Structure 1
Amino acid sequence: MTLRILIVTAVAAEADSVARGLPSDGPGGPDGPDGPDELPLPGGYPLRRHHRTGSVVDVLVGGVGPAAVAAATATALAALASGGETYDLVVSAGIAGGFTPHAPIGSVVVSDAIVSADLGAQTPDGYLTVEELGFGRSSHPVAASLTGRISDALTRGEQRHTVAPVLTVSTVTGTAERAAELAARHPGAAAEAMEGFGVAEAAAAHGVPVVEIRAVSNAVGPRDRAAWRIGEALDALRSTFQLLSQTVLVEPAP
């Protein structure tokens, strides 16, 4: 059985870090001497296909924000389905802001829920979720069996991580007040990014399991670019997928 995994990032730097975590596992590597296959999708979305022993891992650069990445993910899912095949897992991956103290810089957050943090309405009595408005959903739970397998692999590889909700926002938090508001509304949330919910919506429409994995580059709150550690987060992203490439990305779920 060949596993088919789709990993979706926002930008090329994230995709490159993920790809560097997918090492060759044979002479010359199963991707061959020229590296992974480049497979442009309809709409021009760049996708790189890595042929692993026991799996095929597609790495897609989907764009920034939930709308862009939902369109890209849906395009990739539909393209594979048109050939009569389906993905076994979709992963939203990249760097993110971490909520203090749950997710320090350089650590990794594995989602147990992918939450659209601002999909709802402000009212005189406070914020209402889209569920409370009766218009849809704002959260995708992730199976504990999947997060457990990922967490086990990271623990064995001594990669600092936490399993917790990851928030999707359309506007990155830039103040302490906004960070406190989100933390109060979503207790236990460990990270904030801009794409996970869009990826999850597309995956759910195709009936494919989804998880979000984020390496923390900065603290959620006031924007202090001098304190950002993007290189450190990209290194953590690479090492995370190196660990997963030996386990979760090659072993069928039990």
Structure 2
Amino acid sequence: MHIWVTAPTAMEMKPLISWLESGSQQTGQQKYRFRGHDIVIKVTGVGAVATVFHLTRELEKDKPDWILQIGLAGSYHAELVPGSVVVVERERLADLGAEDRDRFVDIFSLGLESPDVFPFEQGWLVNPYLKKFRNLPIPAVQGITVQTVSGSAATIARRAALYQPQIETMEGAAFHYVCLHMQVPFMQLRAISNYVEPRDKSKWKITEALASLHQTLQQWLLAWPEELQML
């Protein structure tokens, strides 16, 4: 199979590259032959705009059999502690809309877009390919994507009430949007680096989250679930 692994930043990708360099054949710049499969590494940039641009540009040149986005995320739920790893089942563009005084109104409520016109399902960007994976060892969650990370009590409370998210990222919905339009099987894998709360970097666990993320990813790639072969 021809597999792409993408991440917003080189930092989030570095442990995978080191692992592949030590245990597979390098066939090109950030291209590896691993257990009979071709893996291509792509860093797509931070935020929705960079993700859409870089990913669409690459997919117009070539389409993989399967594409994975990895990275860090903030958690809205106490049980998703820093270091936890999740797979994202559905995504929402949580700050695309308008402010009406103290109220946020999204593009669907504004009548600018239909919540049930492809690729949306009731306003969500749902990954249909996860149904093929019967025994994923990690929780499937719903995420919101924002371009300004939540860092005040008022913003956090508003977004939590509107969408009941479990995690927050800056790229997930953009990744789902492009993959759905381009009809490429995909999966978004995230590790929790912090809780979504008023900003306090002293509580963040980036090193631990990256270690958990790549341990899970490596175990999964070594196992190569049968479901992946059927996508």
Shared fold, TM over 0.5 = yes
Change beyond 3 A, Cα 1:30–1:232: closer
Contact 1:11-1:64 within 8 A present in 2 as well: yes
Match of 1:135 among 112, 125, 129: 112
Correspondent of 1:192 among 159, 165, 168: 168
Q: Which residue of 2 aligns with 1:87?
A: 64
The answer to whether the aligner puts 1:61 opposite 2:46 as a matched pair is no
- Aligned partners of 2:89 and 2:130 also within 8 Å: no
User: Displacement, 1:112?
Assistant: 0.9
Aligned with 1:204 (options 170, 174, 180): 180
Distance 1:21 1:148 in 2: 27
Q: How far does the alpha carbon of each residue in 1:169-221 deviate from its partner, in whole angstroms, 9 at most, with x for none? A: 1001112222222111112x221111112222222231113332110111111
- Aligned residues of 1:147 and 1:163 also touching (Cα < 8 A): no
State how far apart, in whole Å, the 2-side matches of 1:177 and 1:240 are: 34
Structure 1 segment 3-18 matched on structure 2, within 5 A: 3-18=1-16
Displaced runs of 4 or more, over 4 A: 20-24
Matching of residue 37 in structure 1 with residue 28 in structure 2 = yes
User: What are the superposed Cα offsets for residues 78-112 of structure 1, whole Å, 9 maximum, x if unpaired?
Assistant: 121xxxxx222222210111113242110012111
C-alpha contact (below 8 Å) 1:166/1:212 kept by paired residues? no
Letter in 2 for 1:121: A
Q: Give the one of 129, 135, 146 matched to 2:130.
A: 146
TM-score (norm 2): 0.85
**Secondary structure of the structure 2 residue equivalent to 1:122:** strand
1:163 & 1:132 partners in 2: Cα distance?
27
Amino acid at match of 2:59: L
Partners of 2:131 and 2:152 in 1: CA distance: 31
| TM-score under structure 1 length normalisation | 0.78
Residue equivalent to 1:253: 230
Check the 8 A contact 1:55/1:250 in 2, yes or no.
no
5+ residue gaps in structure 1? 39-47, 81-85, 156-160
Is contact 1:8–1:199 with CA below 8 Å preserved after alignment?
no
Indicate if the aligned counterparts of 2:69 and 2:187 stay in contact, CA closer than 8 A: yes
Q: Deviations over 1:41-92 (max 9, x none)?
A: xxxxxxx222222422222111111001111111221121xxxxx2222222
Letter aligned with residue 218 of structure 1: N
CA distance in 2, matches of 1:23, 1:211: 23
Aligned-residue CA RMSD (Å): 2.5
Q: Which residue of 2 aligns with 1:83?
A: none
Which one of the candidate residues 49, 72, 96 is aligned to 2:73? Answer: 96
Cα distance in structure 2, aligned partners of 1:36 and 1:115: 37
Counterpart of 1:42?
A: none
Distance 1:248 1:22 in 2: 19
Aligned match of 1:234? 210
Q: Which amino acid aligns with 2:35?
A: T
